Amino acid sequence: MKRFLFILLAFISFSCSNPQSRFSESSSKVQLVEAKNGMVATAHPLASKVGAQILEQGGNAFDAAVAVQFALAVVYPRAGNIAGGGFAVYRKANGETGSLDFREKAPQNASRDMYLDKEGNVISELSSFGVLSVGVPGSVDGMIELHKKLGFLTFEKLIQPAIELAEKGFVLTENEANKLNDYQKDFLTANDSSTYFFNEEKWKTGDSVVLPELAQTLKLIQSKGREGFYSGPTAQTMLAEIQAKGGIITQADLDEYHSVWRKPVEGNYKEYKVISMPPPSSGGIALLQLLKGSEAFDFAKLGHNSAQSIHLMTELERRVYADRATYLGDADFFAVPQEMLLDSNYLAKRFSDIRPDHKTNSTEIKEGKVEIIESIETTHFSIVDKEGNAIGITTTLNGNFGSKVFVEKAGFFLNNEMDDFSIKPGVPNQFGLIGAEANAIAPEKRMLSSMTPTILEKDGKLFMVVGSPGGATIITAVYQTILNVVDFGMNMQEAANAKKTHSQWLPDQILYEENGLDSLVLKQLEALGHVLIPVSAIGKMDAVLVLPNGLLQGGADSRGDDTAVGVK
């Protein structure tokens, strides 16, 4: 008897009215998922099911995470990946914590000005589209290392569900069919009309996707481990594709790629311990700066999404994102002043000029002008097993379907992560983020990220696993989700679904979700001088909360097909 407590009416219908929209709208999940023996919350129902099955078969949370990562590479190709990268933050049931950096690296032949023309101007789209935008992939090495250190079941077993999904096929949800249709022109430009995901008749809900080449690649990884991806036929096929189109990644880059275990960023927010991702992610430091700054305000009293709360959060955010632009990059290459950025005296001073009735202009904090291009995809999943082992992984190709280059004979998309570098000081990337020296391109350096897989403890016990996609908005979405539970008393599902806002220093504006704020609140914020820009969605949370009675509560964002599956 299968014991899954399946979810939330899962998939409600979604309408995708605006092809440019970052996420489709959806009605909210109506049923709260709670279970005792495990919880898996991911962006796709099939991946959540795979994770729950691994838990059922005696795997731990880390086994389930490996299986989910590979399953997402099949059923969620816009962000799930084997040729991308990501970060894992974990907490073992015994309280030990750690993080794994399987972020992509710049190729050895990369150079600081590789996306500039002779006059020093940025060449449009070179860092974000096509083979020159590809960073050396980290996901396969990451999953192998994760399994080696923390897994219990055999690696062969964990990758098998993904092989079966790729071989037997799976059915497209409405969201995923729409997303594929939004990118048809790009698939054609980056590949040719024979590319698998190009479909003249358009993809439809219920269409079956079968990926035998990907199944073959996964089988090579299953039988040969790292070698199945970084050398042999997969590497040869991938390098041939990259090099034929003018890319610079070589076999030496693949040979040299290794993920890195890092000490997580840890700090306290009220009575909670926060464990998050260190550089090359900006997420952990920025999140802790925001949370520390929040201790000065009584948000519960000010009210969720009230003008005062949003104003104060925005003021914190503009200062934190200004620090991000200046000080954060790959700490293996640049001396990130992590201690200073999290020092309570520094933060008290940094936030001391925040006023409840006055908006600071971002240009007073630092110069710069950027525009945000709305684009969103990456994916986060959170898993807790019956022992209390917990893991959050955020993984990405960067943009939807990454560089749009599909390695036909091996069945996967290549990332476009190079765009996360600061390709020229002061020039924004696709998320409107700017940077400078700290995040300049250098051979084998990792590009700065905003991905923020995070775990919270309360009274020395596991409390929450949380994370989100959303480029620059990841940090603020995770921040608000934590406040939603800790300060505003929401359950995990409500906290995930709640409408969010985002501000990032530059541009000097607040993004808010359409229909997410009361018109009076909008007027009050405008009266303070804030510029408010509506967007279709901010964040897409997949999270798990541990209730006082030990039950695990799933939170799977209603903005997508996200699904929490509990093991009873």
Q: List residues binding ligand DON (CB under 6 A).
A: 376-378, 396, 398, 417, 420, 449-451, 469-471, 474
CB of 229 to ligand DON, least distance (A): 20
CB of 418 to ligand DON, least distance (A): 10
CB of 22 to ligand DON, least distance (A): 7
- DSSP-H helix ranges across 266-402: 283-294, 299-302, 307-327, 338-342, 344-350, 362-365
- DSSP-H helix ranges across 57-171: 61-75, 139-150, 155-168
Contacts of 545 (CB under 8 A, 6+ apart): 463, 464, 485, 491, 492, 552, 553, 555
Nearer to ligand DON, 317 or 377 (CB): 377
State yes or no: is 501 an active-site residue. Answer: no
3-class secondary-structure state, position 208: strand
Distance CA 145, CA 76 (A): 23
CB of 484 to ligand DON, least distance (A): 20
- Please provide the distance, in angstroms rounded to a whole number, between the alpha carbons at the two ends of the chain: 12
Nearer to ligand DON, 289 or 378 (CB): 378
Q: Which residues of 288-299 are buried (b: 16+ CB within 10 A; e: fewer)?
A: bbbbbbbeebeb
3-class secondary-structure state, position 302: helix
Nearer to ligand DON, 319 or 559 (CB): 559
CB of 103 to ligand DON, least distance (A): 8
Do the beta carbons of residue 225 and residue 147 sit within 8 Å? no
CB of 154 to ligand DON, least distance (A): 31
Nearer to ligand DON, 237 or 398 (CB): 398
Q: How many CA atoms lie within 13 A of 358 on its CB side?
A: 6
Distance CA 361, CA 443 (A): 36
Burial (CB count <10 Å: 0-12, 13-18, 19+), residue 386 = middle
Nearer to ligand DON, 48 or 398 (CB): 398
Question: If we measure between CA atoms, which residue out of 199, 104, 158 comes closest to residue 441?
Answer: 104
510-513 and 532-535 beta bridge pairing:
parallel
Which residues are 422's β-sheet partners?
440
Nearer to ligand DON, 277 or 482 (CB): 277
CB of 88 to ligand DON, least distance (A): 14
**Of 378, 379, 395, 473, which one is the catalytic site residue?**
378
Nearer to ligand DON, 5 or 543 (CB): 543
Q: Extract the tokens encoding 255.
A: 């040979």
Identify the residue whose tokens are 């607040």.
510
* Catalytic residue annotation: 378
